[in-house]
Chain A
Amino acid sequence: MDVTLEKKLQGFQLVAQEKLQAILCSIPGKKELILEPELIKPLEHVCTASWLKLKGIQRIYKHDAKQRLPHAADQVHIYMIRSLLGTYQTLLRQLQPLAIQTTSESPDLELRAFHIICVPSCYAYFHALLEQAGLCGVVQLHHYNWDFIYLDQGVLSLELPNLYECLYLQSNSSALPSIAQSLRLLQMICGPPSVTLTFGNHSAQLVQLLQALGTVPQSPNPPDFGAWLIIDRDKDYVSTLLTPAIYAGLLLEVFQLSAGEIIVDNANNKIRSQKLQLLQGKTEYAPNQAKPSCLRLNSACDEIYGDNRYKHFAQASSLVRAQVKTLGLELQKLNDMKLEEMHDYVARKLPKLTELKAKVLRHLNASEIVIQMLGNFRRLQTLEEDILNNVSRKRLLTGIDELLTTDGQRYNTLRLLCLLHLCVGVTPDELQSFARNYCNMFGHRELCVFQQLAQAGLLPVLLPERKTSAKLLSNLPLPKFQQTEFQANANRLKLLTSFADAEQPAASGSASGHPAIKSCPSFVFNGMYIPLAAQLCSMLLNANSGEQLATKLAMIDGLHVHVGAQVNTLKAYAANLKMASIESADVFPLRLRNLFVFVVGGANYAEIAACDFVAKLTGAQITVASDTLLAGSDLIAAAFNH
């Protein structure tokens, strides 16, 4: 039987179940599961509560960091937490009293009364900490990695929300092996790709880890992916920092996302909670007006979302509105019907219609809140476009400063400054005066954020001043015409479309053959910018030979090609091809047209939509996976977790 790629990707769930079952069934006794609340949503994608019951779990509790669940002698408590040191330590502290109470310890690992399942991996030093807490022999630790969760067609997530912070802000690579393991499982299911392109250190490290983990047993099916593309988030910050123009992207800007579901809540959404309450202006929104509802961002169970997810927001919201109208008319027909007709209608059509109507109304509600929250969207977009194209630098800074004063948003205002730094470069002095105003607005304690963001390369590093005479010299305003790294790469890869348009219409690499195609992947940002992932995908798909690709990408630092166990820069790869004769055949053009994209540190919907567009244009299929899905404000918020 042939299994389609979509089915295989959904099949990750089965593997996740197998893995969880293996742990749960190895533990005998009256089992109770205590879950960290944030794990519930993703776990719903793995199994149901009834499934858990079938595996012998008698009760399920939410873990409370403040107090421990009372434990009866015959019960087995299974805790399930994220592998975060803080959470783990809190749990150990809760369990601490047990160390003294326990008089007889069981020699068998599985017979212990307490188990901690760490998601995605139980770190090596957790064992040492367990021993220090005196809980060795009382508590047993387990790894559990649910691997890729299939959120939507073409969208996979590992649901590891703190990865960006660990990897990019603290340079802590602890979570990488578990990601490599998930990629390894992907190889087992979908076969190895003929080529892997990595961009950035973490990506290269992932491939190295993947190889270190050992060879993979053959998949029962033929391989699915022609190429993997793994990129570091910091190689394309801009696609996260820009405000997307597409429906799914904007939903994420406003609403909290967890495991593919957003909570549509007007009173307490992402934008509102970023502002100072006192300066919000209109305060009399009715808090109880509508209960928060859920929207699942999955096209299979919500056709309205499926139709609109990657459309321009204006188009999507007007489509939703039109649909509400037609449905209203449809329901009005009821009034004109005869009795028999009505019977038939009520019995057959009405339930479906009402269900559809409920769905459409949820979308209508969501898009209305988005419009209300974004306020003057056009102004923001002009500002972003000017930042991208570096139009009158001084005005940009004052513009951002004015936004901070009059519509200060904790993350989004900072996000604009980061964008400005990437595209134009912010000097330490400029940062200083912004930071002063920012701390006034949001409190002095946020001072550390600037150091954190500098660590990630999103803001300049502040250097200490030494009180010397050299200070005078540095005060002189010397004009600098340096190109930032982003600008250099963006120009080489032709990512900036609104700027290049004047010179050559339809500048996108993929669309150049078809002058009739009026849009290019940059539509996700209103025609300003093509996400790096999408551009690389289209280059991979359109490359006719390794050499051709190498000439296009030769100037880009940090790109590596992995074929088999060999790692090369693109140039070296092309050169090798020339040297070696026929035996090492060129992998380009790709024989399998499916691509797998993995973003280390959080993908966003603009990227996903742009990749989807490229896929449609080239007749390929692109699956985008990441550790989590982020909006720009989430990325900035990561720097606030002190």
Chain B
Amino acid sequence: MESQFDNTDENYWNRSSRAAFSFDDEDDVDLGDVGARTSTGQASQSSKWDNNAIFNDDTISEASFDNSAALGTLNHLSIKAILSDEALKLVLQEQAVDDHVMPKGVTPEEELKLLRRQIQSTLYSPNLELTAQKLLHGKVAPLEMFKSLLEKRQLLDAVLANGGDAIIGVLLFLKRTLNATQFHGILQQRPKALEHYLSYLRQSGDVSSYIDMLQRFGRHQEAALRQFQAAMACNELATRKQQLQRLIDAYASAGVGIIPLYEQVFHSALKLQLVREKDALGDLSQRLGDEPTPIELLYVCCSQNKNWKEQDMLKISSPQRFAADQEISPAQYEWTALNERAQAQAYADLECIFERVSGWHPLKSKQFHISFDLTLAVQRLFELKAPATVLQLFLSKMSNSPEKLVLAQRVKCIKAVIDAMVSLKQQQELQQLKQTLPDRSEEQFYCENALKSLQSKRWTTDNIKLKL
């Protein structure tokens, strides 16, 4: 319903009238020259493929309705060949919403009979089977004559046996005509009906009744989830915070048991609101959607962090503090920081991220530590165009030399290739590699040194140190 429709309308209908009827497959419509028909068919088919612009067009055009290839095959098929008249009539009749319409050409006596039967069935004696059958066929069926509780229950059981949309239809009728106690009593005994009713409430967007029903029928965990969802859907931060706080309090004190995961996530969601409230997170948060995830916020925190050597744990937006507050796993923290620092080309900070001071021995020097596969780190750094020295730093931590060699070759880190060859004692390959390196380049010197060290097989103190 864009306004552009009005402008294009004239065009559209001109276009379609030119190409009209080209694929009509009904035999009884006289379309004139058959040959002309097929030829226009081919033309529009090919034009469809060539002219992709029509597809991107926001308007519904003739072309986007062109299904020539599928329709073309049907040119010779008539509906009579696949479906008998009787069956077709039945199909069309079953499609109608209402079957009250009186068939034409009925004698007055017959009409009277029909009407009498109808009145009888609608006003006086509820006909259970007929009603269930009608509902199954999708016809409008009056339910008002089901007055007694027994009749209502029977009606519900009849439609429950078949399944289908009639269940919700009858349930809404019961809700309207019974008081809450009776209605809930009926639902209590019929779990299938309850599921349908809950599904109805959920789809209708009536959150409060939905949560209410869940709680009433003892499904407190689901209710808590829905409340959480409703709270998160609030656009205003203050209300959201308030609702989350209320939910957390209620959840802890309800005495219906606690799922630790839910509790943790509720708490982190609240904490996240606090961070967002306190710190305006700068330009980058503009780039994020309205609802940044914890990892995305961590990324923002990383981009704003100045001091990577010693992070200020008192500041809630310092990456480590934020990760601890949100219970972000070490692997996630490291991966996010790696990506952010590499994007920002602040490679020097990478060492700080992957450093661990061993807790039991504070005097010992800091150690390299990574929580995910080193290969992945190297590959990502390569993708982000990190310089060879950085790649070498990470490659040097790999212990498996054959793998290291393959990876180093893939990311074109010559020095690491040389290192790996040295540890694999591949003298010949090193020689070959040396030939390919540009003269007097740094890598060539490195390669030469490596070769020298390989050739001197003496037991030097250096070698012993390396082993240790």
Contacts and interface: CB of A to CB of B under 8 A. Distances in A.
Interface string A424-467: 00000001100111011111110110110000000000111110
B137 interface: yes
A223 interface: no
B204 A85 contact: yes
A61 interface: yes
Contacts of A123: 165, 168-169
B77 A7 contact: yes
A346 interface: no
A481 B97 CA distance: 55
A172 B196 contact: yes
A442 B293 contact: yes
A150 B137 CA distance: 25
A462 B1 contact: no
Contacts of B58: 62
A514 interface: no
Interface stretch (B61-69, B354-362, B445-453): B61-69
A188 B83 contact: yes
B13 to A, nearest CB: 8
A220 B83 contact: yes
Interface in B45-74: 45-46, 49-50, 52, 55-56, 58, 60-62, 64-67, 69-71, 73-74
Contacts of A318: none
Interface string A582-599: 000000000000000000
B69 A464 contact: no
A489 interface: no
Contact of B329 (A7, A293, A294, A405): A405
B87 A221 contact: no
B221 to A, nearest CB: 6
Interface stretch (B15-23, B399-407, B425-433, B435-443): B15-23
Interface string B222-264: 1001101100110000000000000000000000111111101
Contact of B81 (A3, A144, A217, A405): A3
Interface in B283-307: 288, 291-296, 299
Nearest to A41: B64
Interface in B368-409: 372-373, 376, 380, 383-384
Interface string B64-98: 11110111011001111111101110111011111
B1 A54 contact: no
Given A10-B74, A220-B84, A291 B56 contact: yes
B136 A213 contact: yes
A48 B66 contact: yes
Interface stretch (A277-285, A381-389, A496-504, A530-538): A277-285
A281 B383 contact: yes
B259 A464 contact: yes
A142 B97 contact: yes
Nearest to A259: B67
A466 B257 contact: yes
Nearest to B9: A59
A189 interface: yes
A406 B95 contact: no
Given A15-B79, A44-B67, A279-B295, A447 B265 contact: yes
A11 interface: yes
Interface in A103-141: 109, 121-125, 127-128, 140-141
Contacts of B288: 278
B326 interface: yes
Contacts of A189: 82-83
A475 interface: no
Given A48-B66, A123-B165, A441-B332, A89 B204 contact: yes
Contacts of A101: none
Nearest to B292: A443
B1 A61 contact: yes
A393 interface: no
B20 A440 contact: no
**Size bracket, chain A contacts:** 35 or more
B335 interface: yes
B138 interface: yes
Given A181-B94, A440-B326, A441-B293, A85 B46 contact: no
B217 interface: no
A216 interface: yes
A622 to B, nearest CB: 20
A339 interface: no
B353 interface: no
B208 interface: no
Contacts of A516: none
A60 B380 CA distance: 49
B82 A406 contact: no
Contacts of A64: 1-2
Interface in A151-183: 166, 170-178, 181
Nearest to A283: B343
Interface stretch (B24-32, B147-155, B182-190): B24-32
Given A54-B21, A177-B136, A447-B262, A122 B83 contact: no
Contacts of B98: 109
A442 B331 CA distance: 15
B129 to A, nearest CB: 11
A301 interface: yes
B202 interface: yes
Contacts of B296: 276, 278
Contacts of B221: 451, 462, 464
A144 B52 CA distance: 31
B383 A124 contact: no
A451 B169 CA distance: 27
B67 to A, nearest CB: 5
A111 to B, nearest CB: 14
A45 interface: yes
B11 interface: no
Contact of A50 (B62, B257, B262, B384): B62
Contact of B95 (A35, A145, A465): A145
Contacts of B62: 48-50
Contacts of B167: 173-174
Given A122-B138, A171-B196, A437 B329 contact: yes
A359 B50 CA distance: 10
A48 B71 contact: yes
B272 interface: yes
A348 interface: no
A300 interface: yes
Contacts of B268: 439, 444
Contact of B339 (A40, A44, A281): A281
Given A291-B52, A406-B376, A209 B331 contact: no
Most A C-beta atoms less than 10 A away, residue of B19, B91, B328: B91
Contacts of B264: 436
Contacts of A11: 74, 77, 79, 81-83
A19 B91 contact: yes
Given A301-B70, A448-B229, 14 more contacts: A10-B70, A10-B74, A11-B74, A14-B79, A17-B25, A35-B60, A44-B64, A45-B67, A86-B205, A144-B95, A301-B45, A406-B372, A436-B264, A464-B220
A-B pairs, top 8 by smallest CB distance, nearest first, are A464-B257, A124-B169, A301-B69, A172-B199, A49-B65, A123-B165, A174-B165, A170-B199
25 contacts: A3-B77, A10-B74, A10-B77, A44-B66, A50-B65, A52-B65, A54-B20, A86-B204, A124-B166, A127-B140, A176-B164, A177-B163, A188-B91, A217-B90, A276-B295, A278-B295, A300-B69, A300-B70, A402-B376, A432-B260, A441-B295, A443-B293, A444-B265, A464-B221, A465-B260
